[in-house]
Amino acid sequence: MLKYLKKPILERFQMEMHDVFVNNLRTIRRQAGITQEKLAEKCAVSPTFIGEMEIGKKTPSFQTIKKLADTLGVKPYQLFLENQVPFVLDENLFATLLKVVEEVLDKAVSNTIENRVEQAVERVLMRELPKLLELIQTQNIHVNREARKRKGKFSPP
């Protein structure tokens, strides 16, 4: 009795997967901005075959599924995910997004480097400033002594 129940369940599952594939293929192709003709050309199949797959009349081989997925920029399993059609970016939008991300990262890195440099300079100045002030003060004392010696008014401090 179980073997009679298994066959209809398997057939129903296959039909559901086929419907999901058909829907995803059409949706992903349209999102990618690729015509049936262009997809057919890139996958080495006829445009008629693409059209028939998209209406559920034909079923592709595993090799064709792989070619379809590669051309559409998705993984083969994503063609079978129900209610989870992946978002496909066209090349111009992807290039624009990539440029924006690079600019944001460059700015973040630049700001981080500037902040770190400023912090390092501040630490060095805070550590070395007392020494510099002492050196300047010592230098001023020597300059003043030399000036007084030249005028003949040397008096020890």
Same structural domain for residues 83 and 97? no
What is the DSSP annotation of 113-141? HHHHHHHHHHHHHHHHHHHHHHHHHHHHH
Query: Three-state SS for 12?
Result: helix
Question: Does the pLDDT at position 30 exceed 60?
Answer: yes
Q: Comparing C-alpha atoms, which of 113, 14, 2, 100 is closest to residue 56?
A: 14
Residues 80, 146: one domain? no
The residue out of 88, 112, 144 marking a domain boundary is 88
Half-sphere exposure of 47 (CA within 13 A, CB side): 5
Where is the domain boundary, 71, 88, 105?
88
User: Has residue 157 got a pLDDT over 70?
Assistant: no
Where residue 86 falls among pLDDT bands split at 50, 70, 90? low
Q: What is the pLDDT of residue 2?
A: 46
Helix (H, G, I), strand (E, B), or coil: what is residue 146? helix
User: Are residue 67 and residue 104 in the same domain, yes or no?
Assistant: no
Per-residue pLDDT, averaged over 134-147, amounts to 77
Q: Which two tokens stand for residue 63?
A: 């090799």
94 and 82 in one domain?
no
More reliable by pLDDT, 151 or 48: 48
Both 74 and 99 in one domain: the answer is no
Are 133 and 106 members of one domain?
A: yes
User: Same structural domain for residues 101 and 156?
Assistant: yes
CB 26 within 8 A of CB 54: yes
Give residue 155's domain range.
Answer: 89-157
The answer to whether 28 touches 85, Cβ cutoff 8 Å, is yes
pLDDT value, residue 57? 92
